[in-house]
């Protein structure tokens, strides 16, 4: 089983009118978690989840436009099915 959490505060390092703004396309939060389960002999399952926090749109250094919504993704797979192909 594995888990990784990354919390950032992406702010522009430039001075001037964009000082302190969030960088475009860099989420404030990003978290992943995964687990590998051996259900029975020869049968296993891998489940993985990803959360990406909201982001400023590309080329919006002034942070004036609406933001991209946060998203969550889930992926499941049975490794033995892939090995038998």
Q: Given pLDDT bands bounded at 50, 70 and 90, which one contains residue 85?
A: very low
pLDDT at position 31 over 60? yes
Q: What value does the mean pLDDT take over residues 51-68?
A: 91
pLDDT-above-90 percentage for the chain? 20
Tell me which of 40-49, 51-60, 63-72 is least confident: 40-49
Provide the domain count of the chain: 1
Range of the domain at 11: 2-83
CB 11 within 8 A of CB 21: yes
| Rounded Cα gap, residues 17 and 35, in angstroms | 45
Task: Tell me the whole-structure pTM to 2 decimals.
Answer: 0.64
| Rounded Cα gap, residues 56 and 72, in angstroms | 17
Q: Given pLDDT bands bounded at 50, 70 and 90, which one contains residue 14?
A: low
């Amino acid at each position: 089983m594995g888990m990784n959490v990354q919390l950032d505060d992406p702010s522009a390092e430039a001075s001037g009118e964009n000082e302190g703004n969030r960088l475009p396309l860099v989420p404030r939060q990003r978290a992943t978690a995964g687990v590998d389960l051996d259900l029975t002999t020869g049968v296993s399952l891998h489940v993985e989840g990803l959360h990406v926090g909201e982001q400023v749109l590309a080329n919006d250094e002034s942070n004036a436009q609406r933001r991209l919504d946060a998203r969550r993704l889930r992926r499941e797979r049975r490794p033995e099915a892939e090995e038998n192909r």
